[in-house]
């Protein structure tokens, strides 16, 4: 088959994901669906808040004509205006409708933005551990993914970022709350990145964009707040979605917000209008755009996720695992008790527990647990984790 060489290589690179999925299916077929503890995917089992269905039904009954047609590529002006107002309130900056472009999930937004910004061989700098799709997204648009490590507790190491930058650096992508670690970056760290980028922009003579990938921005625990990239750098863009905070991952709805004081921002607005179109998205899903202005302040239960974080973190630390306590999102990223994280994940499968090795996030020696599942399933998995801890001499 004449599949493109780079896609063949990408399939090969991602083959461990398929293997894990197949192994999971195999275990489920043998032991039954509810006897396998599949913590491998960040696909929440909770249903969207009831208001989502109520509004959808109401909108369909209203039967407003023309709402299923093509629309301006950046999205319905009413939805973008609503989001601009929300962001004005939240960040105290003058967001306008034009600063918002609706996108097909955060993943679609990142692709539209990378296509708008990257010249061949331009570099996108991400912080390890990182969401593995960043590499594919950068390559989709001729870019190259570069990595800077974080500290022992997965926090920003500004020296490592400075060392990883080159005159080809066009974008630095940050993700807080973080997948896979659950850490939230403090404002001072983001401001330090902003200062570094301002210095490097002068040195290299071109703009460098601070891109904040924030699909978990509403899922924050212990009354913490997320860092604000708009405070840190004028060339900043936030990309978010409602995949997690409204549990609408399959509906593919999100938005891109550019800093209202970004220089030449009409260029980026025009570029995003075109890239949304020519990537074949044309526009973000119409019905999902229409529900958003009716869902002000609505989100899934954050305290329920915090409770799951608490019981899982407590159990793992009791069993002797070394794990940084997540401050948001719905992942735990413990240290693997053996340096070979892929082997540990295989051993976990023998206890019917499905995990993802840290290697998959550019961070060997760790493993990821997604905890967006039922409390019952989580509690029933603890025996298996305890056995693993004993097997590896942790307790």
Residues that bind ligand PLP (CB under 6 A): 42, 105-107, 131, 175, 179, 213, 215, 241, 243, 249, 254
Closest CA to 83 of 282, 306, 255, 323: 255
Q: Report the nearest approach of ligand PLP to the CB of residue 339 (Å).
A: 26
Name the residue nearer to ligand PLP (CB basis): 243 or 269.
Answer: 243
Q: Report the nearest approach of ligand PLP to the CB of residue 195 (Å).
A: 24
Please state the separation of Cα 8 from the chain's center in Å: 25
How far, in Å, CA of 146 to CA of 168, rounded? 10
Residue at token pair 């955060």: 106
DSSP character string of 241-306: ESTTTSS-GGG--EEEEE-TT-TTHHHHHHHHHHHHHHTT--SS-HHHHHHGGG-TT----HHHHH
Name the residue nearer to ligand PLP (CB basis): 370 or 389.
Answer: 370
Name the residue nearer to ligand PLP (CB basis): 84 or 329.
Answer: 329
Name the residue nearer to ligand PLP (CB basis): 42 or 362.
Answer: 42
Q: Report the nearest approach of ligand PLP to the CB of residue 42 (Å).
A: 5
- By Cβ distance, which residue is nearest to ligand PLP? 105
Assess contact for 367 and 40: CB atoms under 8 A: no
User: What are the CA-CA distances from residue 107 to residues 31, 130, 253, 325 (Å)?
Assistant: 34, 14, 10, 26
Name the residue nearer to ligand PLP (CB basis): 131 or 185.
Answer: 131
**Residues 6+ positions from 60 with CB-CB distance below 8 Å:** none
Q: Report the nearest approach of ligand PLP to the CB of residue 284 (Å).
A: 11
In the chain, helix, strand, coil percent, each to 5? 45, 15, 40
Assess contact for 242 and 248: CB atoms under 8 A: yes
Residue at token pair 């630095």: 172
How far, in Å, CA of 175 to CA of 328, rounded? 11
Q: DSSP secondary-structure letter at 173? A: E
Q: Report the nearest approach of ligand PLP to the CB of residue 49 (Å).
A: 17
């Amino acid at each position: 088959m004449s599949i493109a060489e780079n896609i063949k290589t990408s399939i090969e690179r991602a083959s461990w994901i398929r293997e894990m999925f197949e192994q999971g299916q195999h275990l489920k077929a043998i032991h039954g669906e509810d006897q396998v503890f599949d913590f491998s995917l960040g696909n929440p089992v909770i249903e969207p808040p009831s208001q989502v269905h109520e509004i959808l039904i109401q909108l369909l009954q209203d039967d407003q004509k023309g709402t299923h047609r093509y629309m301006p590529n950046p999205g319905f002006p009413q939805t973008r205006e609503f989001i601009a107002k929300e962001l004005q309130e939240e960040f105290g900056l003058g967001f306008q409708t034009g600063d918002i472009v609706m996108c097909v999930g955060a993943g679609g937004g990142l692709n539209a933005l990378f296509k708008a910004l990257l010249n061949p061989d331009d570099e996108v700098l991400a912080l390890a551990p990182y969401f593995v799709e960043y590499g594919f997204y950068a390559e989709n648009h001729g870019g190259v993914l570069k990595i800077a490590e974080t500290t022992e507790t997965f926090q920003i190491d500004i020296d490592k970022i400075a060392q990883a930058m080159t005159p080809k650096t066009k974008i630095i992508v940050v993700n807080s709350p973080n997948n896979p670690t659950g850490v939230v970056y403090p404002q001072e760290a983001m401001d330090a990145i902003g200062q570094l980028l301002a210095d490097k922009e002068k040195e290299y003579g071109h703009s460098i964009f601070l891109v904040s990938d924030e699909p978990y921005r509403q899922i924050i625990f212990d009354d913490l707040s997320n860092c604000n990239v708009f405070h840190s750098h004028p060339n900043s863009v936030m990309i978010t979605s409602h995949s997690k905070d409204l549990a609408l991952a399959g509906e593919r709805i999100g938005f891109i917000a550019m800093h209202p004081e970004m220089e030449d921002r009409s260029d980026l607005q025009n570029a995003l209008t075109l890239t949304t179109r020519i990537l074949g998205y044309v526009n973000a899903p119409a019905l999902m755009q229409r529900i958003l202005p009716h869902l002000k302040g609505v989100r899934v239960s954050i305290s329920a996720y915090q409770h799951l974080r608490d019981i899982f973190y407590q159990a793992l630390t009791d069993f002797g695992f070394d794990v940084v306590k997540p401050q948001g999102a719905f992942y735990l990223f413990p240290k693997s008790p053996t340096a070979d994280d892929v082997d540990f994940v295989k051993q976990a499968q023998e206890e019917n527990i499905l995990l993802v090795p840290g290697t998959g996030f550019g961070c060997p020696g760790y493993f990821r647990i997604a905890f967006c599942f039922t409390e019952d399933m989580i509690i029933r998995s603890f025996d298996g984790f305890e056995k693993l801890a004993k097997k590896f001499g942790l307790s």
